[in-house]
């Protein structure tokens, strides 16, 4: 039977613990009342926040990366307010000097974040500015400005600068690709469709197939940067600025190339983040496919390449193993990049117009995405720059059956319709399989028995180097056309 008195005692204790817990929360909330006075929005609120809500709401621990952009934007805004007569020249100079001192503290690591007070980088910088130059002057910095415009301006500046770094990484990676393609242009290997041996190609042709995909990514990136690099400062919370602030001068000072023309759209817009995530997801898809090919080519079954030790790991159990972890991580992180994109698009899909706090979710996706993509490009370049190629293994993997199309092409040059030559070449393949004689070793009489139009010069068709050289139209795998592709790629950079 249940011990009723023991159960009653336990429930009472639980009840008291619960009450005590809520009292602790209540005391903490009361303590936050004073803190809310320091918040940019504190005057409207007479009660404090749940401590968990404070943590849930704060973005300082990731948007602190924007300290420099936030300070540059604040100086530009203050300068425009000075020109408009909203603050005096002396006040502007104090604001500028104070803000530069705050920037130095961030740069040196001396800035002290106050939890529960510094909810974001904007609040933190203004709070510290007030401590340095006094609240009377510091309090004028935010005149006519909203954090809605401030955050999107800072984000655009930060992202613009980071994307320019990615541009440099991609150019470097493509430079290595072109150099390697030129150096190893004489290596001939199997080309694959459906992962089945198809036709002979140059190793350089394979390199450039991805090189041009990455070049397209570079072009898209440069288009994205132009759309990211547009000014939202001066738009207010949503309706615009009431003090006639000069948005053009701020745009020029902050290095923006264009203007966000509608204040409502400007503060609620995160398409520039979404487009960056979409761009990065496509780039990572290309990197993933590139990595998958090299993973296959590095296996003992292929043996075309060998990864440097710097980009490989061993097995904890099997001493002979050399695992292509760098390439597998590149392949895996493409899923992460796609997840960032899909997740943030879902956040935005049902939002009403202008600013909503949901948009804070853009931060972590953007930060993680930029780092993932940037690291991945640099790892991919390292892998390619140190890769050891095995041309003898590539050559050994070539199969006479891969010249079946060349046999068909031979008859086309004799005037036979291609659909007919395709069938004839297929019969040659069948005979080789039936007899066990490699296709290139079938006798002239055997070939003649299949079709009378074969002549003794058919033997010259079974030449892998000749096969690749025959693909001489622009974009093909002949030496001339591959060199042309290398030149075109370099000019695009």
Could you confirm whether 443 is annotated as catalytic? no
- Classified as helix, coil or strand, 453 is coil
Nearest to 89 by CA among 155, 140, 25, 18: 140
Provide the pLDDT for residue 322. 85
| Cβ contact 324:235 at 8 Å | no
Percent of the chain with pLDDT over 70: 90
In the structure, what pLDDT confidence band is assigned to residue 10 with cuts at 50, 70 and 90?
Answer: very low
Could you confirm whether 449 is annotated as catalytic? no
| Cβ contact 236:146 at 8 Å | yes
Nearest to 401 by CA among 431, 366, 365, 371: 431
Which segments of 109-244 does DSSP mark as H helices, in order?
Answer: 121-133, 135-138, 147-183, 203-228
The length of the chain in residues reads 493
What distance in Å separates the CA atoms of residue 427 and residue 446, rounded to the nearest whole number?
Answer: 11
pLDDT at 335 over 60: yes
Percent of the chain with pLDDT over 90: 85
pLDDT at 7 over 70: no
Instruction: State mean pLDDT over 445-469.
Output: 96
| Cβ contact 192:177 at 8 Å | no
Per-domain residue ranges of the chain: 60-143, 148-396, 400-462
Q: What does the block give as tokens for 118? A: 């510094």
| CA of residue 90 relative to chain centroid, distance | 44
pLDDT at 125 over 90: yes
Provide the pLDDT for residue 39. 57
Provide the pLDDT for residue 46. 54
Question: At which residue do the structure tokens 């050559």 appear?
Answer: 395
Q: Is 211 exposed, middle or buried (0-12, 13-18, 19+ CB in 10 A)?
A: buried
Instruction: State mean pLDDT over 15-27.
Output: 46
Q: What does the block give as tokens for 464? A: 């892998």
Tell me which of 46-60, 107-121, 400-414, 461-475 is least confident.
46-60
What distance in Å separates the CA atoms of residue 35 and residue 262, rounded to the nearest whole number?
Answer: 35
Provide the pLDDT for residue 265. 97
Provide the pLDDT for residue 116. 85
Provide the pLDDT for residue 50. 81
In the structure, what pLDDT confidence band is assigned to residue 37 with cuts at 50, 70 and 90?
Answer: low
CATH topology of domain 60-143: Fumarase C; Chain B, domain 1 (1.10.275)
Q: What is the pTM of this model?
A: 0.87
Instruction: State mean pLDDT over 342-348.
Output: 97
What distance in Å separates the CA atoms of residue 479 and residue 483, rounded to the nearest whole number?
Answer: 6
| Cβ contact 383:293 at 8 Å | no
What distance in Å separates the CA atoms of residue 442 and residue 207, rounded to the nearest whole number?
Answer: 34
In sequence order, which residues have a C-beta less than 8 Å from that of residue 487 and are 6 or more positions away? Answer: none
Instruction: State mean pLDDT over 304-324.
Output: 86
Say which DSSP state 92 is in: H
C-beta neighbour count of 30 within 10 angstroms: 11
Question: At which residue do the structure tokens 């879902």 appear?
Answer: 346
Provide the pLDDT for residue 212. 98
What distance in Å separates the CA atoms of residue 489 and residue 66, rounded to the nearest whole number?
Answer: 35
Instruction: State mean pLDDT over 166-184.
Output: 98
pLDDT at 12 over 70: no
148-396 and 400-462 agree in CATH topology: no
In the structure, what pLDDT confidence band is assigned to residue 21 with cuts at 50, 70 and 90?
Answer: very low
Provide the pLDDT for residue 8. 44
| CA of residue 192 relative to chain centroid, distance | 28
List, for residues 201-211, the tens digit of each pLDDT value: 999 999 999 99
Say which DSSP state 313 is in: B
pLDDT at 339 over 50: yes
pLDDT at 52 over 60: yes
199 phi and psi, to 5 degrees? -140, 155
Q: How far is CA 266 from CA 83, 260, 270, 353, 354, in A?
A: 23, 6, 9, 10, 8
Q: What does the block give as tokens for 357? A: 């706090």
According to CATH, what is the number of the domain 148-396?
A: 1.20.200.10
Which segments of 298-324 does DSSP mark as H helices, in order?
Answer: none
CATH ID of 400-462, from 1.20.1560.10, 3.40.50.2300, 1.20.140.10, 1.10.40.30 = 1.10.40.30
In the structure, what pLDDT confidence band is assigned to residue 19 with cuts at 50, 70 and 90?
Answer: very low
Tell me which of 23-37, 135-149, 409-423 is least confident.
23-37
C-beta neighbour count of 166 within 10 angstroms: 23
Provide the pLDDT for residue 25. 44
Q: Please provide the average confidence, as pLDDT, over all residues in the chain.
A: 91
pLDDT at 34 over 70: no
Question: At which residue do the structure tokens 């075309």 appear?
Answer: 304
Calculate ∠ Cα 472-490-199, nearest 5°: 30
Instruction: State mean pLDDT over 36-56.
Output: 65
In sequence order, which residues have a C-beta less than 8 Å from that of residue 7 and are 6 or more positions away? Answer: none
List, for residues 460-490, the tens digit of each pLDDT value: 999 999 999 999 999 999 999 999 999 999 9
Q: Is 164 exposed, middle or buried (0-12, 13-18, 19+ CB in 10 A)?
A: middle
List, for residues 241-286, the tens digit of each pLDDT value: 999 999 999 999 999 999 999 999 999 999 999 999 999 999 999 9
Instruction: State mean pLDDT over 144-172.
Output: 98
Q: What does the block give as tokens for 378? A: 């640099």
369 phi and psi, to 5 degrees? -65, -45
Instruction: State mean pLDDT over 146-164.
Output: 97
Instruction: State mean pLDDT over 227-232.
Output: 98
Q: What does the block give as tokens for 84? A: 């408009």
Provide the pLDDT for residue 42. 55
Provide the pLDDT for residue 4. 41
| Cβ contact 312:323 at 8 Å | yes
| Cβ contact 313:325 at 8 Å | yes
Active-site residue (options: 9, 22, 61, 315): 315
What distance in Å separates the CA atoms of residue 174 and residue 170, rounded to the nearest whole number?
Answer: 6
């Amino acid at each position: 039977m249940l011990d009723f008195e023991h159960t009653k005692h336990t429930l009472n204790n639980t009840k008291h613990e619960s009450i005590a817990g809520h009292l602790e929360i209540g005391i903490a909330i009361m303590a936050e009342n004073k803190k809310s006075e320091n918040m940019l929005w504190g005057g409207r609120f007479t009660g404090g926040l749940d401590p968990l809500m404070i943590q849930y709401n704060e973005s300082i621990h990731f948007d602190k990366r924007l300290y420099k952009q936030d300070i540059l934007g604040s100086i530009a805004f203050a300068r425009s307010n000075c020109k408009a007569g909203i603050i005096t020249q002396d006040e502007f100079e104090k604001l500028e000097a104070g803000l530069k001192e705050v920037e130095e503290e961030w740069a040196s690591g001396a800035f002290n974040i106050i939890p529960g007070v510094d909810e974001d980088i904007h609040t933190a910088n203004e709070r510290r500015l007030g401590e340095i130059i006094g609240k009377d002057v510091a309090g004028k910095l935010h005149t006519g400005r909203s954090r809605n415009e401030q955050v999107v301006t800072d984000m655009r500046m930060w992202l613009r600068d980071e994307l320019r770094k990615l541009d440099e990484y991609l150019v470097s990676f493509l430079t290595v690709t072109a150099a390697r393609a030129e150096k190893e242009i004489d290596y001939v290997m199997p080309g694959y469709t459906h992962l089945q041996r198809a036709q002979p190609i140059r190793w350089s042709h394979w390199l450039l197939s991805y090189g041009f995909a990455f070049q397209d990514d570079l072009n898209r990136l440069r288009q994205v940067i132009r759309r990211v690099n547009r000014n939202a400062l001066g738009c207010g919370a949503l309706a615009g600025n009431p003090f006639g602030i000069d948005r053009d001068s701020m745009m020029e000072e902050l290095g923006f190339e264009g203007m966000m023309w509608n204040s409502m759209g400007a503060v609620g817009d995160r398409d520039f983040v979404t487009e960056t995530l979409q761009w990065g997801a496509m780039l990572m898809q290309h990197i993933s496919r590139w990595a998958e090919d090299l993973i296959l080519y590095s296996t003992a079954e292929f043996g075309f390449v060998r990864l440097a030790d710097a980009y490989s790991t061993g097995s904890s159990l099997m001493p002979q193993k050399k695992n292509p972890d760098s390439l597998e991580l590149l392949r895996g992180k493409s899923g992460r990049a796609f997840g960032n994109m899909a997740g943030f698009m879902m956040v935005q899909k049902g939002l009403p117009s202008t600013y909503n706090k949901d948009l804070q979710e853009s931060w972590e996706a953007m930060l993680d995405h930029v780092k993932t993509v940037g690291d991945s490009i640099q790892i991919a370049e390292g892998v390619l720059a140190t890769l050891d190629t095995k041309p003898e293994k590539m050559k050994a993997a070539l199969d006479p059956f891969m010249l079946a199309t060349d046999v068909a092409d031979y008859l086309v040059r004799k005037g036979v319709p291609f659909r007919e030559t395709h069938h004839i070449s297929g019969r040659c393949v069948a005979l080789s399989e039936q007899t066990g004689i490699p296709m290139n070793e079938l006798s002239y009489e055997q070939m003649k028995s299949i079709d009378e139009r074969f002549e003794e010069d058919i033997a010259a068709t079974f030449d892998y180097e000749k096969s690749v050289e025959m693909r001489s139209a622009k974009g093909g795998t002949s030496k001339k056309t591959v060199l042309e592709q290398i030149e075109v790629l370099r000019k695009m950079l």
